[in-house]
A = this chain, B = another copy of it.
Amino acid sequence: MIERTAPDGAPTVGVIGGGQLARMLAAPASALGIGLRVLTRAADDPAAQVVADTWLGDWADAATVAEFARGCAVLTVEHEGQTRSDAATCPVHPSPQALRCAQDKLFMRRTLTEYGYPGPRWAQVTDVADVVACARNWGWPVILKAPRGGYDGRGVWRVADRMSAERVLADMSGGLLAETSGGLLAEECVPFERELAAAVARSPSGQAVAYPVVATTQTDGICTEVVAPAPRLSDDRALAASHLALSIARDLAVTGMLTVELFDTGTDLLINELAMRPHNCGHWSIEGAITSQFENHLRAVLDFPLGDPRLRAPCAVMVNVLGGTATGLTGAYRHVLARDPQVKVHLYGKAVRPGRKLGHVTLLGDRPEPLLVRARHAADYLSGRITE
């Protein structure tokens, strides 16, 4: 095995987790001339395929993390799972204290409520009677969330009545409930017009920059489309959303990227979720922003000055490539790349499973609608949903 060291005193960032987010950190790490080290579980994980300094091991094991972190200037994480980042002797960004708000949805709601941030009404529920009590106040349906371990719609249920609530709670008595000894998070089902996301980067010394607020489309709980900047969002409301994200980053002492997913009710901006890492909502920034979320995450955790987050074009759109019928996605390049020489394709090197996020495509231009048509076509063709 080739021993990898960062050149000439350059710092190395250790990343716990080897998914596509770690994979997309590789390009800016290489450009900045810093080291990137990834700890992941399998050799075919997206980042393991491309990051030279990949370690295979268990991030839930303290000794593994301690050894991994030796020689790193800073440790960061690319997922919300339980890790033993506390075993690292180097700084960890975001700190485990800050990260808890992104790992534990109940803790997140409690903390945001204490600070007075706007969100849907919520309660901690442990049985059906609790859920029914919530519904009495807010009406059905009620949103139930496993506080930990959910992603891409996993661990989130929309229950329309007492019976479906019972079913979810019964299912929960096995798997996920073991992780959620404190019960579930119940949230009011907010009637929203659309979803927005406000992303910021913040460094340990407190510098922060805000990305343009984007509009996001979720399909079955998976972020599938993003438009930057969010269309028809007044400057005032965009500023309010960015201000919200900057304030949360400051109050929770977040370091690195923070993405705040928001419900836009037409009048209010309500906080849906927090993520303290690069986020699907910010993939457009690789080509679309002067400094991508991946570069700014690295700069932030290293406490380097942050880069300009502004758009390079009037508009950027991102559409996810989800697993469909096609295997061997690059086989579609002959069509996709010929049809649209401007489309930027990102594939994550993941095995195809239906509905799984396998990649994304980005287009820059003047107006979102025509860009979305082209990006959807490219994504659908790559996934095999259309074949001509």
Contacts and interface: CB of A to CB of B under 8 A. Distances in A.
Contacts of A359: 33
A364 B56 CA distance: 39
Contacts of A36: 50
Contacts of A290: 341-342, 344, 364
Q: Which of A5, A10, A52, A345 has the most CB of B within 10 A?
A: A52
Interface string A359-381: 10000100000000000000000
Given A328-B9, A334-B304, A30 B50 contact: yes
Contact of A327 (B5, B8, B348): B8
Nearest to A341: B308
Contacts of A291: 341-342
B7 A350 contact: yes
A103 interface: no
Nearest to A42: B2
Contact of A342 (B35, B299, B307): B307
A320 interface: no
A54 interface: yes
Interface residues of A, number: 66
How many copies are assembled?
2
A281 to B, nearest CB: 18
Given A26-B30, A344-B31, A338 B305 contact: yes
A347 interface: yes
A194 interface: no
A238 interface: no
Nearest to A302: B333
B306 A341 contact: yes
B31 A346 contact: yes
Interface string A144-158: 000000000000000
Interface string A325-356: 00111110110011001101111111110000
14 contacts: A1-B1, A2-B54, A9-B327, A10-B328, A10-B330, A26-B27, A26-B30, A27-B31, A31-B345, A32-B330, A32-B345, A33-B349, A50-B52, A312-B313
